Amino acid sequence: MASRMMIRNAPSLLAILLLSSSLSVRAQESVTPAPALEFLGFRAGASLGDVSTALTRVRGGALKCQGAKVDKRVSECRADFTDPAAGRPLELWLSAVDSMSSVLMLSGTVSGDQLILWRRTLERAYGQVDANVHGPQWMMQWVRQGRMIRLTWRLESGRKLASVSLIDGHVLDAWGEHRGARRPTRR
């Protein structure tokens, strides 16, 4: 009798097993983070160690950091390096919270070809977006799971200035929540 019940219910059991394994795979896929936003080997939300490693890869100078006076968790860091594809000098500036970059910017004077390469690289990696114009400045941005990458450029004194900013909203949010908890209440 028990074996007849098992045989009769086998399709239902099989369906339940298949559904639960399908749900398990979907749950795993939904928690898999999206690829990090990155440019020239620099990643949004990277640790200072990872930024130093990326600088080594592009034959850049040492990352020099200075702690903030008001909030010891915050550091401002700078370095110079050369764009590996164009061979032109660039500057790196970043703000880090607890040794994690919250805002990282790569900037410099670029050639027209270099700017086109930057734009195409970002569009291939993250999709096409419209360029927005604000006065003399052009901007394109991509947002993924609390992180943003922004390409900005403008002409200034006959030179083309461009920057790529990598912003990690999670690092900034955590810093903001921590600061809010320590802020005295006003009466």
pLDDT score at 92: 96
Measure Cα distances from 143 to 35, 44, 150 in Å.
Answer: 12, 11, 9
pLDDT for the residue 187? 41
Q: How much is the pLDDT for 93?
A: 97
Is-contact 150 165, C-beta < 8 A? yes
* Statement: the pTM of the whole predicted model exceeds 0.95: no
* pLDDT given for residue 158 in this prediction: 92
Cβ atoms of 48 and 67 closer than 8 Å:
no
For the chain, list residues with pLDDT below 70.
Answer: 1-35, 178-187
115 and 133 Cβ atoms separated by less than 8 Å: no
Reading the block at residue 158, the tokens are 């006959």
Predicted confidence at residue 7, as pLDDT, reads 46
